[in-house]
Chains A and B, each alone.
Chain A
Amino acid sequence: MEDMIFYDRLQFAFTITFHYIFPQLTMGLSLIIVFLKWKYLRSNVEKYNNAAKFLMKIFAINFTMGVVTGIPMEFQFGTNWAKFSELTGGIIGQTLAMEGMFSFFLESSFLALFIFGEKLMGQKLHFLTGFLVFLGSWASGWFILATNAWMQHPVGYEILENGKFVLNNFGALFSNPWLLPAFLHNQMASVVTSSFVVAAIGAFYVLRNKQVEYGKLFLKIGVIFGLVSSLLVAFPTGDWNAKNVAKYQPAAFAAMEGIFETENAGAEIVLIGQPNMVDKKLDNKIAVPNILSFLTYQDWHKQIPGMDQFKEEELPDNIPALYYSYHIMVGLGTIFIGVMFLALFFLWRRKLYNLKPLLWLIMFLVPFPYIANITGWYVAELGRQPYLVYGLLKTSDGISPTVSSGNTLFTLLGFVALYMLLGLLFLVLVGKTINEGPKPKTH
């Protein structure tokens, strides 16, 4: 039984982590592409259209990866988490089915038109198809986050005698107080990723002294979008999320902040320290007193419950991973703001394009927004433990009763092998596209 749960969780964690590498770029990049198309419509400068078309090539490869790794996600609810699906399908089935109806269809119907159909339609129509693809991908994020929000903070439900959850208030699914902050935060985080990717491509071209015209354009767009989204990700959206966790999942909050003991006169904010699960304390701690209470409740002396206030079985089961994930995400967020701020400053002073060290830094930062996004999800998902549906359904009660761990291990290994291949292909193809560059060939 124990190892059944372990392999199911590992498989879910592995496949969703891999899947989520792609949608974050899909959502953010579609915004930037629509922006470029819009600039082109307004100014008629060919450069913008070529830049948009170039990003679309990367987008298309990324999108394919997102689709093929996303289909297994949808099915995994039934294959690996059958009991969970049986009990909650009447509720989260709503949001997942709506995602299919209202967003995947929109995206996929217009994507091929957007990518291959420019010659068939006028520029206005082409812009419109691009906009619809963008709308579809953001709507997809909305419905998936509504699903996740319900698992984090269940609303609008009723539990029948046989244990099934049924819906009794449809509107509540979308007015869930968890949803809006999580959605905005997540979307801003995806814009962060795509801005960094665009800026890095720009830095690469400028440093290599090829495609310089486009390199400069990408740098400029990447840095401006990057600074704005990095700021928004931290405040107000990140802050708002943290307040929600403190309010609705206090045990998870204590664990992610690393508060082992309750301080009556106000909680400190931990900057550095390693959770020591044996002695139940943080080793090598550096902390600033009272800040956490202020940030969370705007009151320097408000008491925040520590992990000592909760029963063992109510606490997340992997506290160090939760704590590190949270600190990595927030730490990276702070670094992003700093770097993008510097870059914007030098852009304004017209020095950025010649400032090699900063360009190199921007290029090498590409993996980090991905890491921040993924650790962000780990915060959400590990913090929800030991529950699948917070407070109501334990993770161990949600797995498929008849699927043995041998079978799960087999399919997990299969996914690992297949996804390694996919990852390799993705890198090769994106590398090739970037190498070819946006400049139209002169015949």
Chain B
Amino acid sequence: MEIFWFIAIAIVLVMFFILDGYDFGAGIIHLFFAKKEKDKEVITKSAGLFWDSNEVWLVAAGGMLFMAFPTFYASVFSGFYLPLIIVLWLIIFRAIGLEFRGQFKYQMWKDIWDKSFGVSSLLLALFFGIALGNIVRGVNLGIVKTGVSAHEPHYFFLPLWDSSFSPLSENPGIIDWFTIIIGLISVVTLAIHGANWIILKTNASINNKLKSVIFKLNILLTLLTIFSIVVWQIVNPNSLDNFMNKPYLLVFPLIYFTGLLGTFFIRRIQKDSHAFLLSSLLILGGITSSLASLFPVLLPSINNVNPSLTIYNTTTSEYGLSVALVWGIIGFILLFGYMIIQKRLLKGKIDKMDYGH
């Protein structure tokens, strides 16, 4: 039952990053490449029509974690207190940027909200990557100092950074050189994904240029990926054990590399939706590979006093999980139903849709 909920939450998270990922990415592209008013407007629209329904996947993931693994939810949300609240603020800035840009015609008003949308998309992509980096690196559970826990074994608190910026220190901060690398991977991946989305949904004048941007970003992504796998060995020497013991898990990295290699052919791909699919594979593969390497651990402990948090020691009663299974399945069916209806009604390029006033 725990495994079922673990998989369900993983699916919801992946959906969140694929769906909201494209509008984060659109924000990053918007920030760096959109110069003409028409392009800015249409890119904002391609994100603005969808961000709300995409963000609900995050809310759902939060709710499901709360229900299925309450101890994990409590530990991680209070432990990563500051970055989480900052993420919330960024989400607010991004959303009002998208929604309020079109309300007035003054150039200055639009400029403010364009920046608000672009910068917060960029920072959010970075922060989400850093968060993933923190999870795979692990934290000092129980806040152990010289062998003694200062708190209950499943609580911790991380500062934003610690002066050494090293993942190997006794009490690493949120931001260190390892998590920054994962953060950059996330920014680059989502930028590629967002560019694909813009090409797919709009007739922006920069669409042709974006293909070569994607190509360059993909080279960068390949380098970063290789580098991160190497340094991951330093940070956590056991990171590949799961893949050795259960070779079928290798399918997840395989998905990632399919996406990575495929994207190199961006200029030859005929259908825009295929390119979008490839960047979705990148996200799917990246997240599932990280989770698979940890499983069944949810948050590794970096001290040897307190055990890691796993899906088994953070969960609730069997009864609770199984009734939730019933409504969960109904919920998922409805959800995918809505999504299909929504995407069909809003299919094709959206340049001509109404948006704002």
Contact = CB atoms under 8 A, between A and B. Distances in A.
Question: Do A and B form a real pair?
Answer: yes
Interface of A: 57, 60-61, 64, 67-69, 71-72, 74-75, 77-80, 82-83, 85-94, 96-102, 104-106, 108-113, 116-117, 119-121, 158, 160, 164, 166-168, 170, 400-404, 407, 411, 414, 418, 422, 425, 429, 432
Nearest to B59: A100
A37 to B, nearest CB: 17
B14 to A, nearest CB: 16
Interface string B147-188: 000011011110000000000000000000000000000000
Given A93-B67, A97-B64, A101-B331, 11 more contacts: A75-B77, A77-B77, A79-B85, A85-B77, A92-B66, A106-B338, A113-B345, A116-B355, A117-B346, A411-B85, A425-B96
Given A74-B59, A97-B67, A401 B155 contact: yes
Contacts of A400: 74, 78, 81, 155
Contact of B334 (A74, A102, A119): A102
Contacts of B66: 77-78, 85, 89, 92-93, 96-97
B77 A71 contact: no
B78 A68 contact: no
Interface of B: 49-50, 52-53, 55-56, 58-60, 62-64, 66-71, 73-79, 81-82, 84-85, 88-89, 91-92, 95-96, 99-100, 103-104, 143, 151-152, 154-157, 316-317, 319-320, 323-324, 327-328, 331-332, 334-335, 338-339, 341-342, 345-346, 353-355, 357
Given A64-B96, A116-B355, A167-B319, A79 B84 contact: yes
Given A78-B74, A86-B74, A105 B96 contact: no
A124 to B, nearest CB: 14
A97 B77 contact: no
Contact of A97 (B104, B324, B334): B324
Contacts of B357: 57
B314 to A, nearest CB: 9
Contact of B320 (A71, A94, A104, A402): A94
Contact of A111 (B52, B79, B91, B345): B52
Contact of A93 (B63, B91, B156): B63
A113 to B, nearest CB: 6
B70 A88 contact: yes
A75 B88 contact: yes
A194 B272 CA distance: 45
A414 B89 contact: yes
Contacts of A418: 89, 92
Contacts, number: 218
12 contacts: A64-B100, A69-B92, A71-B91, A79-B78, A93-B63, A96-B67, A105-B53, A113-B342, A120-B345, A400-B78, A403-B81, A414-B89
A133 to B, nearest CB: 11
A401 B354 CA distance: 49
B88 to A, nearest CB: 5
Contacts of B59: 71, 74, 100, 104
Contacts of A166: 316-317, 319-320
Contacts of B55: 67, 71, 108
B335 A105 contact: yes
Contacts of A79: 77-78, 81, 84-85
Contact of A403 (B49, B62, B78, B332): B78
Given A74-B63, A104-B56, A116-B49, A402 B78 contact: yes
B42 to A, nearest CB: 14
A167 B324 CA distance: 11
B9 to A, nearest CB: 10
A90 B328 contact: no
Given A109-B339, A113-B346, A167-B320, A82 B75 contact: yes
B71 A86 contact: yes
